[in-house]
Chain A
Amino acid sequence: MSEEKIKDLENQFEERIARDDKIEPKDWMPEKYRKTHIRQISQHAHSEIVGMLPEGNWITRAPSLRRKVALLAKVQDEGGHGLYLYSAAETLGISRDEMIEQLHSGKAKYSSIFNYPSVTWADIGAIGWLVDGAAIINQVALCGTSFGPYARAMVRICKEESFHQRQGYEIMLTLANGTPEQKAMAQDALNRWWWPSLMMFGPRDEDSPNTALSMKWKLKRKTNDELRQQFIDQTVPQAELIDLKVPDPDLKWNEERGHYDFGPIDWDEFWQVVKGHGPCNRERMEARRSAWENGAWVREAAMAHADKKAKKSLNKAS
């Protein structure tokens, strides 16, 4: 294609984005749009899949059958969400195996929040309330994203996630109304998950080099800082309602801004975890790799069985 022709296509593409046209997989798109989407959608998918691990840790130890069926259903949902997203990324021309390979080699990232351990039952409450709460804010903003398959996956995911957050908050509420030890456990979980949850929205806008392009292409509809503020404003009253204290001495309602002011985030910690030095990075990757490797024979056997069956029915037909 001539340079002039590409320029022309690029202009048409930008115009389509500007008038909120959705982009579908077979439409022409700039290479960078394709690559950026493969990166973001696959990392989102990986986050769902790795996100099953900290919660899966508590399925066998859930304190009641009610809690156990809810947690099982939630973890199954995360698996399903990973699958919707992998499919959406595949429409851009990357294979499922390539994406899994990128996750296991460390080339592709996943949300750093899942590199923190879930050490008590209250952590399951905190994860549902805070981590899913933050994820929902991110994902609601993505329902209007410009790439059709990604937007459609997001709509389905958002519908399913609201139960996740409610089950988490209900766990926190129950603990907060329980014995002093149970309440202390809930407070401890909030203390440990609060700051990592704020980091889920990513670096500050001024430190996020991809934000401008992502906003222009409507891959992102709101900036990291806007979403983070929205999460804080929404979550603080929820903590107050169950008499838990948000672990931020600088947290204060700012009448003039109409938002909460909050203390500095430890970005060194954020980057350490992103680079693989969080408390559980290694454990998570080992769990993923061993599941993939130990399941290889099942995938191969299923394929061999399908081939054999297909041959048999072919022989019968002839």
Chain B
Amino acid sequence: MKKNWPLWEVFVRSKNGLEHRHFGSLHAADAEMALENARDVYTRRNEGVSIWVVESKYITASNPENNPEMFEPAKDKVYRHPTFYDLPDEIKHM
């Protein structure tokens, strides 16, 4: 039976000190080939100093349909932000 090359997600650190960021995806037979392909597809112009690849099927994503219960509760917790607190004007930096 014909088996297609699986899909991989590619994460690139553009320079030391920065996090790896999702760059895109590609197909490859295994991890080693995924790394080689990621180098050719996503870093032809010095875009990176480090690459992670992970097979797409291992990523669990939240469902946008559940966004209200996932993310909206954070909206009414304004006390998590510094601007919630009243301080005298004399305090310049806090």
User: Are A and B associated in one complex?
Assistant: yes
Chain A residues in the interface with B (C-beta under 8 A)? 24, 26-28, 73, 76-77, 80, 83-84, 87, 90, 95-97, 152-153, 160, 299-300, 302-303, 305-307, 309-310
The answer to whether A87 touches B26, judged by C-beta atoms less than 8 angstroms apart, is yes
Residues A26 and B63 in contact, CB atoms below 8 Å apart:
yes
Proximity bits, B49-86, A CB within 8 Å = 1, else 0: 00000000000010111000000000000000000000
Contact between B29 and A28, CB atoms less than 8 A apart: no
Q: How large is the interface on B (under 10, 10 to 19, 20 to 34, 35 or more residues)?
A: 20 to 34
By a CB distance below 8 angstroms, the chain A residues around B45 are 160
- B5 and A299 within 8 A (CB): yes
Kindly identify which residue among B7, B27, B30, B41 contacts A80, using a CB–CB cutoff of 8 Å: B41
Q: Are A90 and B25 in contact (CB under 8 A)?
A: yes
Given A26-B61, A80-B41: A90 touches B29 (CB 8 Å cut-off): no
Assess A306 versus B29: contact at CB under 8 Å? Given A28-B65, A77-B44, A80-B40: yes
Q: How far is the CA of A302 from the CA of B29 in the complex (A)?
A: 6
- Whether B44 lies near A303 (C-beta < 8 A) is no
Set of chain B residues within 8 Å of A306, measured between Cβ atoms: 29-30, 33
Q: Are A76 and B44 interface neighbours, CB within 8 A? A: yes
Residue of B nearest to A301 (CB): B29
Complex Cα–Cα for A160 and B47 (A): 12
Q: Are A97 and B26 closer than 8 Å at their CB atoms? A: no
Of all chain B residues, the one with the shortest Cβ separation from A77 is B44
A96 touches B27 (CB 8 A): yes
CB distance from A293 to the nearest CB of B (A): 13
The answer to whether B61 touches A310, judged by C-beta atoms less than 8 angstroms apart, is no
CB 8 Å contact bits of B15-26 with A (1 = contact, 0 = none): 000000000111
Q: How far is the CA of A90 from the CA of B45 in the complex (A)?
A: 25
A204–B53 alpha-carbon span in the complex (Å): 44
B30, A97: Cβ atoms closer than 8 Å: no
User: Which chain B positions have C-beta within 8 A of A303?
Assistant: 3-5, 29
Point out the residues of chain A lying under 8 angstroms from B92, CB to CB: none
Q: Which residues of chain B are within 8 angstroms of A152 by Cβ–Cβ distance?
A: 24
Residues of A within 8 A of B40 (CB): 76, 80
| Closest B residue to A310 using CB positions | B30
Of A27, A76, A80, A302, which contacts B64 at CB under 8 A? A27
**A residues near B4, Cβ cutoff 8 Å:** 95-97, 303
In the assembled complex, how far is the CB of residue A229 from the closest CB belonging to chain B, in whole angstroms?
32
Measured in the bound complex, the distance between the Cα atoms of B4 and A97 in whole Å is: 8
Residue B2 at the A interface, CB < 8 A? yes
Q: Kindly report which residue of chain A lies nearest to residue B61, judged by CB atoms.
A: A26
